[in-house]
């Protein structure tokens, strides 16, 4: 009994710490804008500040948390599904499918006058989501289902390379597509709206419970496929459901914020030692850690070159790559 208490306690402490960090980052996100630090409590007496806080900063801050949460969940599912600590949410072609969908829409289907409008952004978001799910579906077709892990990995690599090449071709051919796609490729949080937050919250409320229910399947897979079959787990069906969770969570995040690098890869690593051997704790903590990482990156993107902003994907790539290099150096030592 004492062993169980010792194992669970670090996970609960980490959970409380991550929730506290989210609250603090939320307050900071509401307070920082292009004009510097402005307390959100001043909004009650300043109509202009009130609109800025609740129509721009609040959805942006909450949206960054939701994007990070979806990527953290996707990363934990991918690493457990493929039994590879270097697996990431974009592994099955979701990012390349989303990019190709947007490039096609910008090159052939959307007039230039609509690109910057609300309707245009919603259309691009929908196309990116459909493209992300289509990329994963194409990977499943090439792999002939989700029964074989190696086929899934190879199919994802092939789909990513081919769709990425098509996207680059369209970007070279169409100058307007190049400008919009550049922001998409770098990752962004500046245009997140309440509608985007609603979509991502709905997807998170759908995918996280399903992943938690299947956490025991991931526990069994970590011991090997033969052990999982011995326990009577239908690997084909459960893998297909987990791939669906991965596709929906990643597709929703990519459609709203573009290609945000390293969050889905790094978040599970940061909490793995605190979560223990059970994937139930790892999934929940990775989701919260992803939210914390992207919320912190969003705040930093406003501060580093203020009043200008850095693309949030640039910061996550630099910080995430630095962390992985440090981790590799420490393990070698």
Q: What are the tens digits of pLDDT across the range 208-223? A: 999 999 988 888 877 7
Report CA torsion sign: 303, 305, 306, 310. Answer: negative
Q: Which domain holds residue 290?
A: 2-332
Read off the pLDDT of residues 34-56 as tens digits, 9 standing for 90 and up: 666 766 666 556 666 678 788 88
Q: What is the mean pLDDT of the chain?
A: 82
Least confident of 15-29, 123-137, 190-204: 123-137
Read off the pLDDT of residues 55-101 as tens digits, 9 standing for 90 and up: 888 999 999 999 999 999 999 999 988 888 888 888 888 888 888 88
CA distance 88 to 65: 18
Higher-confidence residue of 20 and 188: namely 20
pTM summary value: 0.86
Which residues contact residue 176 at a Cβ distance below 8 angstroms, ignoring those fewer than 6 apart?
106, 112, 115
Q: How confident is the model at residue 7 (pLDDT cuts 50, 70, 90)?
A: very low
> Which among 130, 156, 127 has a CA at the least distance from the CA of 143?
156
Report CA torsion sign: 63, 64, 67, 72. Answer: negative
Q: How confident is the model at residue 3 (pLDDT cuts 50, 70, 90)?
A: very low
CA distance 60 to 188: 10
156's tokens: 């994802």
Question: Looking at the predicted structure, is the pLDDT value of residue 29 above 80?
Answer: yes
Q: How confident is the model at residue 2 (pLDDT cuts 50, 70, 90)?
A: very low
> Which among 130, 131, 132 has a CA at the least distance from the CA of 74?
132
Read off the pLDDT of residues 146-182 as tens digits, 9 standing for 90 and up: 667 778 888 888 988 998 888 888 877 776 667 777 7
Number of domains forming the structure of the chain = 1
CATH number, position 117: 1.10.3470.10
Specify the pLDDT at position 6: 44
Higher-confidence residue of 272 and 44: namely 272
């Amino acid at each position: 009994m004492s062993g169980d208490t010792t194992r669970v306690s670090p996970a609960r402490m980490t959970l409380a710490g991550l929730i506290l960090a989210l609250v603090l980052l939320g307050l900071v996100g509401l307070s920082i804008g292009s004009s510097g630090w402005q307390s959100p409590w001043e909004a009650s007496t300043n109509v202009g500040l009130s609109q800025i806080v609740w129509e721009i900063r609040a959805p942006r801050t909450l949206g960054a948390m939701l994007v990070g949460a979806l990527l953290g969940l996707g990363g934990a599912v991918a690493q457990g599904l493929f039994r590879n600590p270097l697996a990431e949410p974009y592994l099955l072609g979701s990012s390349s499918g989303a990019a190709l969908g947007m490039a096609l829409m910008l090159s052939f289907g959307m007039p230039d006058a609509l690109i910057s409008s609300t309707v245009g952004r919603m259309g691009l978001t929908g196309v990116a989501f459909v493209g992300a799910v289509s990329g994963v579906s194409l990977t499943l077709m090439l792999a002939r289902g989700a029964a074989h892990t190696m086929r899934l990995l190879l199919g994802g690599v092939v789909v990513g390379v081919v769709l990425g090449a098509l996207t680059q071709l369209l970007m070279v051919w169409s100058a307007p597509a190049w400008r919009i796609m550049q922001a998409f490729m770098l990752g962004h949080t500046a245009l997140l709206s309440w509608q985007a937050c609603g979509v991502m919250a709905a997807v998170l409320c759908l995918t996280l419970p399903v992943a938690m229910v299947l956490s025991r399947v991931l526990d069994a897979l970590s011991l090997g496929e033969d052990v999982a079959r011995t326990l009577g787990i239908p690997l084909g069906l459960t893998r297909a459901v987990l791939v669906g969770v991965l596709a929906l969570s990643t597709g929703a995040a990519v459609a709203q914020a573009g290609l945000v690098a390293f969050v889905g890869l790094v978040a599970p690593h940061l909490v793995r030692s605190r979560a223990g051997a059970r994937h139930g704790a790892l999934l929940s903590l990775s989701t919260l850690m992803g939210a914390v990482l992207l919320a912190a990156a969003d705040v930093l993107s406003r501060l580093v070159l203020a009043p200008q902003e850095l693309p949030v994907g640039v910061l996550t790539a630099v910080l995430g790559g630095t962390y992985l290099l440090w981790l590799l150096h420490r393990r070698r030592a």
